[in-house]
C-alpha cells in the first residue's frame, strides 16, 4: 500500500499548529506519519512538539529561520512516505483529508493532487474575503469541468505529490519566500507531472493577513512569471496570462486599468505587468485605507 507523510512547516504559530495536529488526530485513515519543521519559532513551538502526544508518529525538526521553502525541503528530506501531503500551519483538516489524498493519488499516478482551502467565517478582512470568493469561483469551475487545473493551483496549504517527483525536480527554491509552491509546480509540470483537483480532500483555512502581507503575496506571484518563462517557455506563460486576464471580472479589469493606464494593460502578456499590477493595486488601496 502507498505510504504518506504529512509535512507542515511552521513559524510563530504554536496555537494554530496545535489545531492542525488535533485535526489530524481525527482522521478516518490512520496510517500516516507527520513531519513538522519549526522554522526558528520563539513562541514555545519546539517545547510543545516535544511534550505533545498524538495517535501518529510526529518527527519535529528545528532550524534557524530560513523561510518556508527551506523548511519544506527539510521536511521532504525527512519524509518516509512515498507521497508527501503538504499542509500549512493555519489550516483545519477535514476528517477524510489524508484518505482522500491517497485515494486520488492511487487513481492517477504521476499527478499532484490539490484539495480546496475553505474559509472560516470569522476571518473577515475584506481582502481575505475577496480572495476566498475568487478561490471558490475557481473551485466551482474545476468541479464542473470548466477549468483544467494547472501548476498555478498547486498551493501547499493542501496539496500532495510523490516524494520522488519533488526530489527529481530539485525541491523548493529557497530564494522564494513566497510563491515557492507554484514555482516548484512549474518545474513539476515540465517533468510531465499532471495536476488534479480533488474536492473531497478539504481543509478550512484560518486566513488572517494584514493588507501589506496580502499585497506582498500577490506581488511575489507577479515576479514569479519570470521564472515561469524560463521553465515552460514564453509562449506558455503568455497564453496562461492572457487566459487569466480574460477570466477576470470586468470590475477587476477596470480597477487595474485605473491603476496602470490602458497602454500598460494592453501589454498584459508580460510578467512585469503582473508585478506592476500588484504594486499599483497595493498603493491605490493603501492610500484609500489611510485617507
For residue 254, pLDDT beyond 90? no
Lowest mean pLDDT among 32-41, 202-211, 212-221, 266-275: 266-275
pLDDT value at 269 more than 50: no
Q: What is the value of pTM for the model shown? A: 0.78
In this structure, the answer to whether residues 124 and 56 fall within a common structural domain is yes
Paired sense of beta strands 158-162 and 91-93, if any: unpaired
Regarding whether 232 and 204 lie in a shared domain, the answer is no
Same domain, 178 and 238: no
Q: Are residues 167 and 199 in the same domain?
A: yes
Indicate if 50 and 194 belong to the same structural domain: yes
Give Dmax (Cα) for the chain: 59
Q: Are residues 22 and 139 in the same domain?
A: yes
Average pLDDT, the chain: 82
User: Would you state the pLDDT for residue 178?
Assistant: 80
Is residue 275 predicted with pLDDT exceeding 80? no
In the listed set 146, 175, 208, which residue is the last one of a domain according to the structure? Answer: 208
Phi, psi dihedrals of residue 255, rounded to the nearest 5° = -65, -45
DSSP secondary structure of 129-187: HHHHHHHHHHHHHHHTTSS---GGG--TTEEEEEHHHHHHHT---TT-SSSHHHHHHHH
Give yes or no: residues 226 and 201 share one domain: no
Strands, sheet with 203-205, edge to edge from the N-terminal-most edge strand: 91-93, 203-205, 117-119
Q: Quick one: 191 and 216 in the same domain?
A: no
Taking phi first (over 0 means left), then psi (-120 to 50 degrees means alpha), and beta for anything else, what does residue 170 get?
A: left
Among 208, 241, 268, identify where a domain stops: 208
Do 127 and 189 sit in the same domain of this protein? yes
The count of domains in the chain is: 2
The whole domain housing 275 covers: 210-291
Amino acid at each position: 500500500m502507498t505510504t504518506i507523510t504529512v509535512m507542515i512547516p511552521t513559524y510563530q504559530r504554536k496555537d494554530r499548529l496545535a489545531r492542525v495536529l488535533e485535526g489530524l488526530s481525527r482522521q478516518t485513515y490512520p496510517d500516516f506519519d507527520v513531519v513538522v519543521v519549526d522554522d526558528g519559532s520563539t513562541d514555545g513551538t519546539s517545547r510543545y512538539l516535544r511534550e505533545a502526544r498524538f495517535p501518529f508518529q510526529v518527527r519535529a525538526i528545528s532550524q534557524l529561520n530560513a523561510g518556508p521553502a527551506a523548511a519544506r525541503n527539510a521536511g521532504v528530506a525527512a519524509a518516509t512516505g512515498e507521497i508527501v501531503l503538504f499542509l500549512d500551519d493555519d489550516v483545519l483538516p477535514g476528517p477524510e483529508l489524508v484518505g482522500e489524498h491517497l485515494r486520488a493519488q492511487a487513481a492517477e499516478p504521476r499527478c499532484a493532487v490539490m484539495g480546496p482551502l475553505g474559509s472560516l467565517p470569522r476571518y473577515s478582512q475584506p481582502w481575505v474575503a475577496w480572495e476566498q470568493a475568487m478561490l471558490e469561483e475557481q473551485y466551482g469551475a474545476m468541479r464542473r469541468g470548466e477549468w483544467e487545473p494547472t501548476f498555478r493551483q498547486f498551493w501547499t496549504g493542501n496539496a500532495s505529490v510523490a516524494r520522488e517527483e519533488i526530489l527529481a525536480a530539485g525541491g523548493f527554491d529557497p530564494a522564494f519566500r513566497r510563491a515557492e509552491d507554484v514555482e516548484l509546480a512549474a518545474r513539476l509540470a515540465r517533468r510531465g507531472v499532471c495536476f488534479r483537483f480533488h474536492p473531497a480532500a478539504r481543509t478550512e483555512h484560518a486566513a488572517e493577513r494584514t493588507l501589506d502581507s496580502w499585497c506582498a503575496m500577490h506581488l511575489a506571484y507577479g515576479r514569479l512569471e519570470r521564472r515561469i518563462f524560463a521553465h515552460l517557455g514564453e509562449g506558455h506563460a503568455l497564453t496562461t496570462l492572457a487566459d487569466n486576464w480574460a477570466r477576470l471580472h470586468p470590475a477587476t479589469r477596470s480597477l487595474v486599468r485605473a491603476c496602470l493606464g490602458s497602454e500598460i494593460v494592453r501589454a498584459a502578456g508580460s510578467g512585469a505587468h503582473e508585478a506592476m499590477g500588484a504594486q499599483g493595486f497595493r498603493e491605490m488601496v493603501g492610500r484609500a485605507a489611510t485617507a
